[in-house]
């Protein structure tokens, strides 16, 4: 099975629910000046055109960006995935995508032929990769059972699996499997969408390290070689997030985070039928 040679930075910009052009332009301008390159979006976020226009109007060099996008559930299948990718490329005003993911797997709870659906969607991504429309391909919210099924027919190994990942939601079953298979992990919601900020254990850990809980979460991602894609609309947070990924942590802090019981986050589950655009 072919393995993709590609490099991801340790931190990127999440853009879910950022749908105002003025805010997007301001964030992108500041982010690029700080040193960010990875921009994560998805067809279901409905902001591809805003990102494309902002990049063009700001005069940001395409070579400075790593544009990552995702095919939504309504475009499952070989032809659907290819058509969706070409549509996203056009909206983003670019000639190619750096990274393209299947946003959610088809599951046995939804489809009797879920394995075939995932296989055909992945085959579409493989074609896009081989044609040069995208530089790397991967999946999002895939569990080991979905990946095992995909490997039955795949000719290219997924480069990355983007999952909900933060203290209290480390998904070791998924991360251990991906590590074994050589699949990188991207952390969507690395800050737990703010829902973990009141956890007493994390408060104590952050206090002991003399950093904020947000910095603690991102530093942990960095130490686990997990690419974090936090979302923020505040320019001051862009810089603190960017610096936090390289903060060292005590071994005792790392162990406490690993042992933290489930405390939630987005609460998304890839085994459920989810209209992600309405969440």
Largest pairwise CA distance in the chain:
53
User: Does residue 144 contact residue 177 with C-beta atoms inside 8 Å?
Assistant: yes
Catalytic member of 45, 100, 165, 177: 45
Residue 96 annotated to the active site: no
Whether 117 and 111 have beta carbons less than 8 Å apart is answered as: yes
**C-alpha dist (Å) from residue 110 to 30, 116, 140, 219:** 42, 13, 17, 37
10 token code pair = 């340790």
How far apart are the C-alpha atoms of 220 and 170, rounded to whole Å?
11
User: 3-state DSSP: the chain helix, strand, coil percent, rounded to 5?
Assistant: 45, 15, 40
Please name the residue ranges forming H helices in the chain.
21-34, 48-58, 78-91, 114-131, 144-150, 172-181, 200-209, 213-223, 235-244, 251-258
Q: Give the Cβ contact number of residue 190 at 10 Å.
A: 29
The pair of three-digit structure tokens given for residue 120, joined into one six-digit string: 């055909």
Give the CA count within 13 Å in the CB-facing half-sphere of 155: 9
Tokens of 70: 């995702």
Annotated catalytic sites, by residue? 45
């Amino acid at each position: 099975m072919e393995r993709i040679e590609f490099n991801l930075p340790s931190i990127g910009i999440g853009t879910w629910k950022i749908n105002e052009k003025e805010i997007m332009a301001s964030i992108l301008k500041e982010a690029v000046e700080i040193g960010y390159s990875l921009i994560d979006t998805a067809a279901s976020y409905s902001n591809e055109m805003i990102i494309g226009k902002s990049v063009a109007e700001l005069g940001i060099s395409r070579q400075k960006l790593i544009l990552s996008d995702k095919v939504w559930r309504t475009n499952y299948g070989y032809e659907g995935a290819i058509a969706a990718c070409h549509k996203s490329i056009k909206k983003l005003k670019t000639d190619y995508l750096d990274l393209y993911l299947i946003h959610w797997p088809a599951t046995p709870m939804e489809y009797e032929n879920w394995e075939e659906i995932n296989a055909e969607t992945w085959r579409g991504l493989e074609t896009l990769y081989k044609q040069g429309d995208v530089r790397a391909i991967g999946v999002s919210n895939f569990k080991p059972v979905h990946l095992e099924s995909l490997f039955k027919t795949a000719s290219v190994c997924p480069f990355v699996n983007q999952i909900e990942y933060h203290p209290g939601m480390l998904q070791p079953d998924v991360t251990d499997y991906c590590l074994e298979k050589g699949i990188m992990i991207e952390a969507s919601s690395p800050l737990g969408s703010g829902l973990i900020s009141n956890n007493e254990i994390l408060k104590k850990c952050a206090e002991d390290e003399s950093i904020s809980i947000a910095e603690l979460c991102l530093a942990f991602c960095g130490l686990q070689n997990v690419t974090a894609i936090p979302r923020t609309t505040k320019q001051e947070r862009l810089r603190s997030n960017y610096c936090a990924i390289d903060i060292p942590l005590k071994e005792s802090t790392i162990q406490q985070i690993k042992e933290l019981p489930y405390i939630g986050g987005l609460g998304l589950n890839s085994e459920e039928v989810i209209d992600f655009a309405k969440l």
